[in-house]
Each structure stands twice: as structure tokens, then as C-alpha cells.
Chains A and B, each alone.
Chain A
Amino acid sequence: MPQTNYQTQQEFFVDMQRCIGCRACEMACAECETNGHESMIHVNYVDRAVTIQTTVQVCMHCDDPVCANVCPADAISKDEFGVVHTANTARCIGCSNCVMACPFGVPKKNEAYDLMMKCNMCYDRTSAGKKPMCATVCPTQALYYGTREEMARMRPNSTPVNNFLFGNEKVSTKVNIMMPKGSTQLIVD
């Protein structure tokens, strides 16, 4: 990688309860130069039958990324800052292993390109010391990029959690999800 100004003290925080489904993040994501102007972020209804709550999903940048492990073409890599990069365009064979194996449902397969694409935390911006596009436009700060201290000051009743349990698998990530104070992990069953 070229010389960077990546701010290691800055972290990504996702607060699902604050998402209002405005999709500003989707529009902003498409401005990211590294995506080739494709939006990589997901906005979903949590459970539309019972609640109007929406939620937003960025790549969680796992410590041991399943997507990279199941890639048969060695197309996905994690850098020294813990950012899991989108598929290397020369290597990706469009098999969708990563799309189906990611426990968070993040990677997208672009059928026309025969290529997997995913959020790489706006590396063009974060490597220059800026915040990711989605976090700069989110009106409710459901997506926030900053320091742990800033977060603790702003959300005293929340705890950032980056440990998840999917069945028997414990997954730890670079990106945090805001949980009620004192939580240590999010169990997805």
C-alpha cells in the first residue's frame, strides 16, 4: 500500500437503534472512489411485520475474515490497519463464496462485472485521515467514525461491542456495534 495517513485511534461505531432508514448513507457510499461509484452499504428493515425499525450494515472488518478464508482465488486481503479490502479485481472469479459465507451478509456480487464488491471503509478517505462517506452524512449518527473517548462521552449508557456469536462461532471485528451498557457480545440466533 502507498504511504497513508490512516488514523488508528479512530474507530467505526454502528448504532442500529438510531437508523431512520433515510438511505443518505447509500447515496454517500456511491461517492466512494474505491467502489467505482457502486453503493456497498445495506439498509434493511429489522422485522417489518412488527416494527418500522431499520438498520444499517457496513463491513465489520473481522479480525479473522471468513470471506478471505473461503475465497478460492486469494482475492480478499486484510491490511496492517485491520481493514479487509474488497476483492482484487484481477483475481476474483465471481464464485460468491464470500457472499454466502460472511456471517453479517455484507459482500455483494455484481453479476455484470462477475466480481464481488464490498465496503472497504472508504479506504481512499480513511487512508488520508478522513472519515468514511457514510459516517459523514448520517443525520442521526447511527454511523459514527471517531475515537472511543468521543463515543463514551456522547453515549454514556451504551457500550461498543465487537464480539458476536453466530451458532458456535465467535467472531470479533474491527467495527463496533453500540449495545446497552455493560454488554459484552451480541448473540445472533
Chain B
Amino acid sequence: MSTAARAAIRQAPEAPEELRARQRRLVLVLALYASSFILFWWAASAFYYRSYGGLWADLAGWVGGILSALVNFEGGFFVWLGRIVVAILSVAPLFAAIFFVGMGYRLARWLRDEHPRPASANPLFDRHFRGIFSELFVFTALAAFIWWITGNTVENLDRLGKPPGFEFLNNTAGFGINQVLFVDYTETSSYGKALLVGVLNTLVLSFTGIVLATIIGFIIGIMRLSHNWVISKLAAGYVEFFRNTPLLLQIFVWYNVVLKPLPGPRQSLEIGSVFINNRGVYAPKPIFTDAWWFVVAAFVIGIVASWIIARWAHRRQMETGRPFPVLGAALALVFGLPVITWLLVSLFAGSPVHFDYPQLRGFNYQGGMRIIPEFMAMLLALSIYTGAFIGEIVRAGIQAVPHGQTEAALSLGLTRGQMLRLVIIPQALRVIIPPLTSQYLNLTKNSSLAVAIAYPDLVAVGGIVLNQSGHELEVIAIWMLVYLSISLATSAFMNWYNAKMKLVER
């Protein structure tokens, strides 16, 4: 409706029934708004005072916590994380206030006759009014529910004598962890540090699992598409078996049936200088000298140089049509340069890397690098299980590229390799990547099943902390926050990658 038309309507004298309808609407809106506002405010303030004393005190404590966490990293990370949770909860009334201002604006707009309607219409049958009404209703009901839960929780915690808060994370953990990577952890470290070790173990397991599952998945997917009947049925059998049994069962099988009955350290299976026994896999541990940095630098230079060459080759091909063997050059640079550097360094400064071999002393191996059996079981179970799902995704993705694309590529005179690399794979990847992302996330979340065989991931370590300290609420909040951040970060990265791949299509 144009402004002029609306003005014309405004100036027209109002019929008495229209006036009454208008007044009725106004009263209804005001009553609704006021009642839900009061109800909400009552709920919110009760929620806020019953649980966390005061907003400003919290905010001050929070800022102090960040500063102290920055100064002293020991365990402080999770104290800080916990404070974010508290802060979000504390400013919940603020969000609610924003919500109510917005709702008031929408109701006012509705009252201002922006939608034409018959004068006698009951507002309860108006689509827009009903929308606003149901939103107010849902929001207020939810707030009341949260208020009820929080109140109960605070009362229960009071009764149990457990004040909520994340300060307990600074207490001494007092338990050992059998896989500590990247950080120093001892029994005298704090709970916070123990959780950090758990997070790192989760990340390491998920990352290696994702790499391995992708490899398995692509092999299985391609096998399923094979023209060879035996191979494709073999892959189908793999998928149907591993997809239709619980992952937890598979973890138990790998751990209890495959890895536990391995021989003891004295009868270890030997593959070169790698020893496999029921205490884990022992491998030589590389020890890098300072000269190793030259090799690393050569590797980085190789990557940068191949990137530059790729750009230059692309531009030259666009201008002149002359292709350049980028892949070969890049491989030569990325792998050749470090190898040459390695040889040169070895000639002049001695080998930049030497190995610490595991030695059998007494009943067990000492030295070297140990991979604990729990990790092996989790890695095998996760990657084989997820590989079955990825295999199906890869198959669907490749099948989604129409056959005409293959024919067109071949008729342009591309070789089979070029066809795969330039035509089929880019199009298949667009179909593959979104479900692949969710499989990666599933694998990361499934790594939490490690608690069943006591691989010290975040959930298993958190479980010990929970039992020792009795702070269920805080530990569970940390679990959820960490997994949520991993999930959101992964999906953000994959969305970015997905958007980049989409550009292939014009």
C-alpha cells in the first residue's frame, strides 16, 4: 500500500465499529505484552538472583579471570572457559530485554495498520498477530522453564553443599594419565591441566582418525564403483557390515579380541625396529638436532616456490595456451629440496636426525616412541567405521557426475588422468564435501567413546575429574563447550572450503 493511499485511509472518518475494533486490538496487545513482560521479568530476575549473586560482580570476576589466565596458564584455560559460560548465563536477562524491545516494535507496527484487514476481524485470527503471540508465548514459557530448572539446581547444590564455580580446576589432580602429548603433566598438576591433556588427546585421535578414515573411505568408494564384480561386492559387504553394527561394539572387539591377546613384551612381533605387543606399539623415536631446521626451511621454501610456479603456469596457460608440468615441478621442489638439504647437512654437520630405539629391559620396552593399545583400538575402530560411511559418500559423489561429462572430456582430447583431475573430481567433490564434513564431525564426537576402554580423551579424563571433585555441572559444561567449539570450527572451515569449491561452477 502506498503512503498516499494509507494517508487517505487515515483521514477518512472512522466508523464506530472500526474504532471499537481498534480499541479492542490496542487493549489486547497491551495486556498481552504487559503480562508476558511481567511474567518474564519475574522469571528472569529470580533466575539471575538465585543463581549468581550479581551481574557486575560476575563481570568483574570474569575480567580478572581472563587476566589471571593469560598471566598464569596452568589450568587457567578452563577456569576462563567456565567464566564465559557463567557470563553468558548472567547476561541472559539482557538478551531478553532486547527481545522484548523487538517484540514491542513488532506489536506497534502491527497496530499501525500496516496490514489491511476487515474492521470486525478478531485479532486472534490475524496471521501476524498470531505469529507475535506465539513467539511471546514460547519465549516466556521457555524462560519460565529455565528459571524453574536453575532454581531447582541452585537449591539442590545448596542442599548438597556444593557451591558452583570453576575454581576447583586449580586443585591438584593427583592421578596419572598414560598418554601425555605436547604438555608437561604429572600427578601434581591441576585438574585444568588434566583436562587440557584430555582435549589434546581427543584432537590427536580425531585428526589421525580423520586422515585414515578418508583414505579407507576413498579406497572403498572407488572399489564399489569398480567394474570388477568381486571387488565391488567385497566393498559392499564391508560397508554393510561395519555400518550396521554399533561402533562401541567394534571398539570392544578391537581392544579385547584383537589387541589384548597379542603376545607380551618378550615375545613381541617385530617389524624392522617396530615392536608390537599387548602393551602397545613401540617405534624408534626421531630426535631432531638444530640442523633439522634447515630441512624444515627447505620444505617450506619448496611449498612456497611451487605455489608461485603454479600461479605463473596458470597465467601463462591462460595467455598463451602452453601448459607447464606443475605437478612434477611441485613434487620435485617439495620433496627434492628437503632431501638435498638433508644430504648436504649430513655431509657437513652430521645427520640432522637420529633415532632413539626401544630396548627390551626387564619386562618391558624402554625408550623409543610408544603408542598405547587404547589409542590403536580407538583409531582402528573409528577409521574403519567411519570409512564405511565415507565410502558410500564417495561413491554417491562420483556417480552424481553425469556420464556426459566423461564423454565430453574424452572428446575434447583430454587424457584419462586429465579428465579425472580437471573434470570429474572437481564436480564430484562439490557433492562429496558437505556430507564428508558431517562424517568428520561424527568421528570427532564418536572419539568420546574412548571412555569405554579408558583412552584418556576429554570425556574419560573429565569423568575422573567429575568423580574426584564432584563438580558435575562444571565438567559437563566444559565437555559440551569444547565439543561445540570443535564442531562449529570444523563446520565453519568446511563451509569456507565448500564455498571455494562451488566457484568451479559458473
A and B from one complex:
no
Binding site for A on B (CB under 8 A): none
Binding site for B on A (CB under 8 A): none
